[in-house]
Homo-oligomer: A and B are copies of this chain.
């Protein structure tokens, strides 16, 4: 985890007290060495979860979900933005992005999620937890079993963890940020939580 915190400290840019630019390594330009380390660490967290599916929301979580799924030897699934015409009886939730202020419809084709599935939900950030809670809700609606949440970066000050606790599964974050200072660019991490 310390290597991940160091990587973020070196590459990320603090744009505001709650706003961190990580698009040089994680969600626009992708550094495979960083994603590999992220996948390795998340795979350690969920090695014994008996999961058969990693679920995320398009698009920022896709590559992290894939890398974790690849390492665990299971499928990845990403909820798509908007119902596609190819979907069969899609599961749908509408979520609002607290960072962008936009509303997005997330959809999962119901033939890809069912009672046989044991699901890890992952994303790049845990902020307010609204997107992950919506995904968890879709897993429950489909009759699947949620086995955990995994995040690269948790913004602890936004208390998203409190929103996800009700699902009663482990919540793992590889880097937990207590506060950020846009004036000097500093990031205060806690030791991380799992």
Which A residues are closer than 8 A to B by beta carbons? 15, 21, 23-24, 28-32, 35-36, 58-59, 62-63, 65-67, 69-70, 73-78, 80-81, 84, 86-87, 100, 108-109, 112
Q: Which residues of B contact A28 (CB under 8 A)?
A: 77-78, 80, 84, 86-87, 108-109, 112
Q: Which residues of B contact A78 (CB under 8 A)?
A: 28, 30, 59
Cα-based distance from A58 to B109 in the complex (angstroms): 19
Q: Which residues of B contact A23 (CB under 8 A)?
A: 84, 86-87, 109, 112
Task: State the copy count for this chain.
Answer: 2
Tell me which of B24, B32, B63, B70 contacts A32 (CB under 8 A). B70
Which of A62, A87, A109 has the largest number of chain B CB atoms within 10 A?
A62
Minimum-distance CB pairs A-B, first 9: A59-B59, A30-B76, A32-B70, A29-B112, A21-B86, A63-B66, A29-B77, A58-B59, A62-B62
CB atoms of A73 and B112 under 8 A apart: no
Tell me which of B21, B30, B84 contacts A77 (CB under 8 A). B30
Nearest B residue to A107 via CB reads B28
